[in-house]
Chains A and B, each alone.
Chain A
Amino acid sequence: MEDLIAYFTNNKEIIFIVILMVFVGVEVIGNVPAVLHTPLMSGANAIHGVVIIGAILVMLDSSPDNYLALSLGTLAVFLGTLNVVGGFVVTDRMLDMFKKKK
């Protein structure tokens, strides 16, 4: 119990952000019409590509002679970029079609 309270205190900012973001996430997409479910899923898919920032941080922290870390890291950055770029572009393409009505 002591440990748990200490853990909470040490990470309180992060825990606050997490809890508040959970509510924001629910609020933000409440009442979305069924028409937009697929673009919304696709847009959210692009946003979690933010994980690429972790991959970049890994790379920046690696020493230039740690070949294993560098090759895995480069692969991670590549995959993260695919997620971000592909995700946003395909979402834009979907939404572009909706706009064409007259």
Chain B
Amino acid sequence: MNIDLIHIIYLFGSVTFILGLKMLSNPKTARNGNLLAAAGMTAAIVGTIFLKENEVSPIIYYLIFGAILVGTVVGWLTAKRVQMTKMPELVSLFNGMGGACAGLIGLIEFPKVAAHHPEKLGIVLAGMIIGSVSFSGSMIAWAKLNGTLRNAIRLPKYNIVNTLVLIGLVAYAVFIVVAGAYDPMHLYLLFTIAIVYGVLFVIPIGGADMPVVISLLNSFTGLAAAFGGFLYDNQVMLTGGILVGSAGTLLTLVMCKAMNRPLYSVVFGAFGETATAASGGESQGSVREVSSSDLAVQMNYSSKVLIVPGYGLAVAQAQHVVKELETLLEERGVEVAYAIHPVAGRMPGHMNVLLAESNVDYDKLKEMEDVNPEFAQTDVVLVVGANDVVNPAAKTDPTSPIFGMPILEVENAKSVVVNKRSMNAGYAGIQNELFFRDKTSMLFGDAKKVLGELVNELKNLD
């Protein structure tokens, strides 16, 4: 093959990445955008493999093809088989794989680069460190999301410890480059510290902030890929990596804005500490419970019902039974729509993906700004497993840790029914005064089970 052709292929790859991301930002073109980027990636990979034809021993080709084949089968099956509720942790897992890949490249390249191009050593180490941090951080995020690691673990003075470890990590890397400490022992020690730092970085951060962390680690991995591009003077790695690095950073900031939480407070974890101090966990009066049969009657005679889905819906896998409820109510002439908070669930857009899985019409999913004025004309709001995103304290209580976060103004509706498993507080760790209001009633229990009962009661009404 003509070696020069590879540059045209790389240019094609870079353009598909840019166009692909652009098309992913629009619901109509998103799917094709993803396929386009995948095509560009395939071309770049195939082109790279055949770049050095005739110079490479066949055993190396066997290893590359073997690894790609196994990786494709495993990656494909995992992505196809995973339940959509588990999708956030899967994204985190794949992100970690990319980070590990960058970390390994650094480990292998270090001795070669140290011997021949010491001026590029800083780039190798930067790529390795960022990749490794992204790897171990993503693994922790993955474990937190799938419930293996339940609580935020905070070492005493963790902010100071983390900062010191980070400074030590960077100082050590600088020392290796400047002092020419090319002994592999230093390399492996640095690698280990980077892995440890990734763990320390993510482990104190609470589950509610994981989407932001994953998005941040996503842009880290992009950066690590870009350092690889710098090292090999490889434009497609450079453009792809930087593109993800910058787009990922912007996306991280957009998510922070939706939660009204500055990035530094996510990373340095101010959450939780002020929370328990400010509002406490005590109850404020008594709550009213409603039975599913009463609720069925109430909904049957409503003219408009809004459903507010939250993470509890995802946990209980209640997306299909919610759709069933919607269909039944519509048959009875009740107008049904869904009010989606931008950070409902564990990732922005998480609820949209879940409800789309159960064939809920895209037009019925209403975003916060559009739906907030509609609550006043709504007879029943059914909150399924959401808590902080409907907490009026965000508007009224300046001492609340979520004060200032835009919320769904469900308290304006004629009546509110909240489905929760118990009275436990949400992620923010604060009690929700909405539950104690006169027009609020509680429907306790697992979302799938309770909504299933509600559906049966509705059917029995005929």
Contacts and interface: CB of A to CB of B under 8 A. Distances in A.
A72 B104 contact: yes
Interface string A20-34: 011111101111111
Interface string B232-252: 111111111111111110110
B287 interface: no
Interface of A is mostly: helix
B215 A41 contact: yes
Given A51-B228, A62-B108, A86-B94, A100 B359 contact: yes
Given A28-B22, A48-B218, A99-B31, A17 B51 contact: no
B208 interface: no
A26 B246 contact: yes
Interface residues of B, number: 114
A89 B20 CA distance: 14
A92 to B, nearest CB: 6
B101 A79 contact: yes
Given A34-B367, A40-B251, A47-B243, A84 B41 contact: yes
- Most chain B beta-carbon neighbours within 10 Å: one of A18, A50, A59: A50
Interface string A67-102: 011101111111111111111111111111111111
A47 B97 contact: no
Of the four ranges (under 10, 10 to 19, 20 to 34, 35 or more), the interface on chain A belongs to: 35 or more
A51 B221 contact: yes
Given A40-B24, A50-B237, A81-B71, A29 B101 contact: no
B361 interface: yes
Interface stretch (B62-70, B304-312, B417-425): B62-70
A29 B25 contact: yes
B460 interface: no
Interface of A: 11, 14, 17-18, 21-26, 28-62, 64, 68-70, 72-102
